[in-house]
Chains A and B, each alone.
Chain A
Amino acid sequence: MILRRIAAILFLPMMFAFGSGVYLYLGTLKSKVVKTRADLPTVTKPRLVLPGTMFVVQDGRLFKLKDGGFSEIGGPGDWSQPTLTPDHTRLVAVLRNGYSSDLYLLDLDGHIVKRLTKNDSRIVDYNHWAFYPRVSPDGSTLYYSYDGPKHVDSAPGDDLSIWSMPLNGAQYQARRRTDPYWYTGGDVSPLPLAGTALLYVQHSIDPSTAVHSQIRLQSRTGDLIGKPLTSLADDCSQPALSPDGTQLAMICTGGKQTARLEVAPFNGTSLGPARILIEGGLYASPAWSPDGQALAYFAPSGAAGHFELWWLAVPAVVTASPSPTASPASSASEGGAASSIVVPSLPTTPVPVQVTQGVDLSATSPPAWY
Chain B
Amino acid sequence: MEGRGPARRRRASRLHPVRLVVLTLFCLLLSGTAGAAAYFFPVVVAGVSQTSQTVVVPPNDSPGVKATPTPAAVPGAPFTVLLLGSDDDGKNKSPLTQSMILVRVDPAGKHVTMESIPRDLWVPLSTGGSGKIDGAYAYGGPAAAIATVERNFHVHVDEYAWVGLTGLIKLIDLLGGIDVFVTNPVLDDAYPDDINGGFLYGYKTVAVLPGAQHLDGAHALQYVRSRHNDINGDFGRSARQQEVLLAMKVKASTLNAADLPDIVSALNGKFKTSMGLDRVRSLLGVANAFDLANVKQIVLYAGLYTSYDHGAAYGGASVIIPHWSQILAVTRENFP
Query: A282 touching B179 by the CB < 8 A rule?
Result: yes
Query: A34 touching B259 by the CB < 8 A rule?
Result: yes
Q: Which residues of A contact B177 (CB under 8 A)?
A: 305-306
The B-contacting residues of A in range 235-281, CB under 8 angstroms, are 235, 237-238, 251, 253, 256-259
Query: A188 touching B262 by the CB < 8 A rule?
Result: no
What's the nearest-Cβ distance from chain B to residue A106, in Å? 20
The A-contacting residues of B in range 19-70, CB under 8 angstroms, are 20, 23-24, 27-28, 30-32, 34-36, 38-40
The A-contacting residues of B in range 174-214, CB under 8 angstroms, are 174-181, 183-189, 203-205, 207, 209-214
| B11 CB-CB contact with A under 8 Å | yes
In Å, the complex CA distance between A251 and B147 comes to: 45
Q: Which residues of B contact A31 (CB under 8 A)?
A: 254-256, 258-259
Known contacts A33-B176, A33-B255, A183-B229, A18 near B31 by CB under 8 Å: yes
Q: How big is the B interface, by class?
A: 35 or more
Query: B214 touching A360 by the CB < 8 A rule?
Result: yes
Q: Which residues of A contact B301 (CB under 8 A)?
A: 208-209
Q: Which residues of A contact B24 (CB under 8 A)?
A: 11, 14
Q: Which residues of B contact A300 (CB under 8 A)?
A: 179, 214
Known contacts A209-B231, A238-B211, A33 near B175 by CB under 8 Å: yes
The B-contacting residues of A in range 1-56, CB under 8 angstroms, are 1, 3-4, 7, 11, 14-16, 18-23, 26-34, 36-37
Query: A37 touching B176 by the CB < 8 A rule?
Result: yes
- Interface centre among A37, A209, A251, by most B CB within 10 Å? A209
The A-contacting residues of B in range 233-262, CB under 8 angstroms, are 235-236, 243, 246-247, 250-251, 254-259, 262
| A168 CB-CB contact with B under 8 Å | no
| B329 CB-CB contact with A under 8 Å | no
Known contacts A22-B32, A258-B181, A305-B214, A99 near B205 by CB under 8 Å: yes
Query: A124 touching B189 by the CB < 8 A rule?
Result: yes
Nearest to A362 among chain B residues (CB) is B213
What's the nearest-Cβ distance from chain B to residue A261, in Å? 11
| B15 CB-CB contact with A under 8 Å | yes
Query: A15 touching B189 by the CB < 8 A rule?
Result: no
Q: Which residue in B36, B214, B258 is a CB contact (below 8 Å) of A306? A: B214
The B-contacting residues of A in range 348-365, CB under 8 angstroms, are 360, 362-364
Nearest to A18 among chain B residues (CB) is B31
Q: Which residues of B contact A82 (CB under 8 A)?
A: none
Known contacts A203-B184, A363-B213, A184 near B258 by CB under 8 Å: no
Q: Which residue in A21, A160, A257, A304 is a CB contact (below 8 Å) of B181? A: A257
Query: A285 touching B254 by the CB < 8 A rule?
Result: no
What's the nearest-Cβ distance from chain B to residue A83, in Å? 15
Known contacts A19-B38, A37-B176, A99-B204, A213 near B210 by CB under 8 Å: yes
| A129 CB-CB contact with B under 8 Å | yes
Nearest to B177 among chain A residues (CB) is A305
| A182 CB-CB contact with B under 8 Å | yes
Query: A34 touching B262 by the CB < 8 A rule?
Result: yes
Known contacts A16-B31, A36-B176, A182-B231, A158 near B211 by CB under 8 Å: no
| B303 CB-CB contact with A under 8 Å | yes
| B307 CB-CB contact with A under 8 Å | no
Q: Which residues of B contact A305 (CB under 8 A)?
A: 176-179, 214, 250-251
Number of interface residues of A (CB under 8 A): 81
Query: A30 touching B205 by the CB < 8 A rule?
Result: no
| A211 CB-CB contact with B under 8 Å | yes
Query: B31 touching A15 by the CB < 8 A rule?
Result: yes
In Å, the complex CA distance between A235 and B212 comes to: 13
Known contacts A1-B11, A124-B189, A306-B214, A19 near B35 by CB under 8 Å: yes
Nearest to B229 among chain A residues (CB) is A158
Nearest to A282 among chain B residues (CB) is B212
Known contacts A259-B212, A305-B176, A363-B212, A211 near B236 by CB under 8 Å: yes
In Å, the complex CA distance between A188 and B15 comes to: 80
Q: Which residues of B contact A100 (CB under 8 A)?
A: 205
Nearest to A20 among chain B residues (CB) is B35
In Å, the complex CA distance between A50 and B302 comes to: 50
Query: B35 touching A30 by the CB < 8 A rule?
Result: no
What's the nearest-Cβ distance from chain B to residue A111, in Å? 26
In Å, the complex CA distance between A299 and B178 comes to: 13
Query: A364 touching B255 by the CB < 8 A rule?
Result: no
| B158 CB-CB contact with A under 8 Å | no
| A287 CB-CB contact with B under 8 Å | no
What's the nearest-Cβ distance from chain A to residue B44, in Å? 14
Q: Which residue in A32, A181, A257 is a CB contact (below 8 Å) of B180? A: A257
| A144 CB-CB contact with B under 8 Å | no
| A199 CB-CB contact with B under 8 Å | no
Mask for B67-93, Cβ within 8 A of A = 1, else 0?
Answer: 000000000000000000000000000
The B-contacting residues of A in range 86-109, CB under 8 angstroms, are 98-101
Q: Which residues of B contact A213 (CB under 8 A)?
A: 183-184, 210
What's the nearest-Cβ distance from chain A to residue B92, in Å? 23
The A-contacting residues of B in range 110-169, CB under 8 angstroms, are none
The B-contacting residues of A in range 317-370, CB under 8 angstroms, are 360, 362-364
Q: Which residues of B contact A360 (CB under 8 A)?
A: 214
Q: Which residues of A contact B28 (CB under 8 A)?
A: 14-15, 18
Query: B205 touching A129 by the CB < 8 A rule?
Result: yes
Query: A158 touching B214 by the CB < 8 A rule?
Result: no
Nearest to B302 among chain A residues (CB) is A209
Q: List 24 A-B contacts (CB under 8 A).
A: A15-B30, A22-B36, A23-B36, A26-B36, A28-B258, A29-B257, A33-B176, A124-B203, A124-B204, A127-B189, A159-B187, A183-B229, A184-B184, A185-B186, A185-B187, A201-B210, A203-B185, A209-B231, A209-B235, A238-B211, A257-B243, A282-B179, A303-B254, A304-B176
Query: Which 5 interchain pairs have the tightest Cβ spacing?
Result: A185-B185, A22-B35, A19-B35, A15-B31, A19-B31
Given contacts A14-B28, A100-B205, A307-B214, 11 further A-B contacts (CB under 8 A): A19-B34, A29-B256, A31-B256, A32-B254, A98-B204, A158-B188, A181-B231, A186-B185, A203-B183, A257-B180, A257-B246
